[in-house]
Structure 1
Amino acid sequence: MSDEVEPGFVRVRLDLGYDGADFSGWAKQAGGRRTVQGEIEDALRTVTRSGDRSYELTVAGRTDAGVHARGQVAHVDIAAGVWEEHREKLLKRLAGRLPKDVRVWRAEEAPAGFNARFSAIWRRYAYRVTDHPGGVDPLLRGHVLWHDWPLDVDAMNEAARGLVGEHDFAAYCKRREGATTIRTLQELFLTRGSDGVVTATVRADAFCHNMVRSLIGALLFVGDGHRGPEWPAKVLAAGVRDSAVHVVRPHGLTLEEVAYPADELLAERSRAARNKRTLPGAGCC
């Protein structure tokens, strides 16, 4: 599959953020449900006065219903003449057209070979939780989970170290037909802030469905003493879903950042990311 842009079109990179509370996820859905993709595509069509012409966004990370984003990245191919006419005022016009829970912060012509999804080398999420006995600060309630047991962050970090690296995360993913569950988890650690909120930083080359929220669910079981620090790695090695691993609620999760290689490596990264992965020593099929 090529990432060459159709003649007469310009590929535009969009950097954006949204509060996911009132969205049914990123991707457009049947039945008229409200989605981030749908809102942005409708706004683009309106502000560029494109009539019946539709836009199709490709996104770095398809977030689930209720998940937020600060550093989401998407691309869209726009007719060169339309882009030239609207590029200077596009951000301001989008700000006037989009609902207040989604914003586009940057819209620029993308370098050759750029694909918002396949060119990315990692995505970084944060999951925020508090164990304060009084609950969550009302001003943060839409972005922080309340866990009503005291959490041992040191034990959670010990458990997290056993999950970092390239593994088959089938035990922590909702399987999709034909999709691999092999991922490289590059970072997983937790810190407690001065406000008592515990933030888990989770960075990987890519994530499978429900992976981050399942990992956090397992670590919370360690943090509150229901399981030992070795347990999440044992679940990973077993390779099957464990009923004790809960998929935590989405509102504590935020996509913070997506990273890309140098411009000259974008196309090669995009080609490599499309290859179905196997673990060393595993069969090809």
Structure 2
Amino acid sequence: MPNELNLDAHIGSFVAAQKEIERFLDDNYAKLPDRLHHFAPDFGALKSILGSKQMWASHAYDMNDKRELWYGSYIVHACLEEKRKLYAPRKIFQLDEFFDMALERSNPYSNSFNGLQAPFVISLCEDGNSNSQWEKYGNKGKGYCLNFRTTKPLLPDLAKRNLMLLKVIYDINTQVSLINTAIQKEVNHILAHLNDPSAIFMGMGASVAFYQLLLIYTISFKSKNWSDEREWRLVRGTSPILEPVVPETREKDGSTIRFTRVEFSDFAPFSRVQDISAGAKAIPEEVAQVTGLLDSFRS
């Protein structure tokens, strides 16, 4: 039937985006180191983490450095503009719609389009001995570092809990390549189905699928200026299918910070607290209690 909706064409953009996400996650996990580390700024924070067996994931829009949000969005916006110039002479409605909508939503962190939400992030790093890490995240040596032993996570187990583990990308050439490839795949899908009965929806559908992938990529992008951090991110709340994460709030330096709790059991069995390092300026009386806290946590 010539007017019958081609379902494969209609949902093709979403299927392609999901495959890209799965490939990206597989590539991440292939690089997973034996150890990952998380800094607690003081003994109170460490005691809270071990006592509750929880970590707090901060809303992406409430992270300390807002430039992290702008950085990825700037790259996406620039790539979209270049591609739009390339295809503008063809005057294809669906392509124009795709580029217009994708540009409008090129900041995925602050956009609730299609029910998608900004994710919540826990920062981890590969080097627990870095002086710069202790300075920035370990409260200038007064804090503590939780050292996790890692094994390969199971994608379905993480996905069920609306979690992803992402390796931060600092190389701009890799970032641009990922975004350009994603854009081109959506464009190719639109062009391949212009005569399909569902063609009128192609531009909008492609923009939604692109947005889904965009959220995963840009939360993984940071400037090369931060490459010494060798950061990984445990991210909750990227799935458009699972129930949205309901944030709690806390006050910090006069601002309201949104966060959600992540149980240690949510990302077991691939993460275990192997040991805890104390900063050079940590209070000795508190350092003496760390072993007992860790024993209680493991019991």
TM-score range relative to shorter protein: under 0.3
More helix per residue: 2
Under a length normalisation based on structure 1, what TM-score does the superposition of the two structures give?
A: 0.25
Relative contact order, higher structure (CA 8 A, sep 6+): 2
Bigger-Rg structure (1/2): 2
More strand per residue: 1
Under a length normalisation based on structure 2, what TM-score does the superposition of the two structures give?
A: 0.24
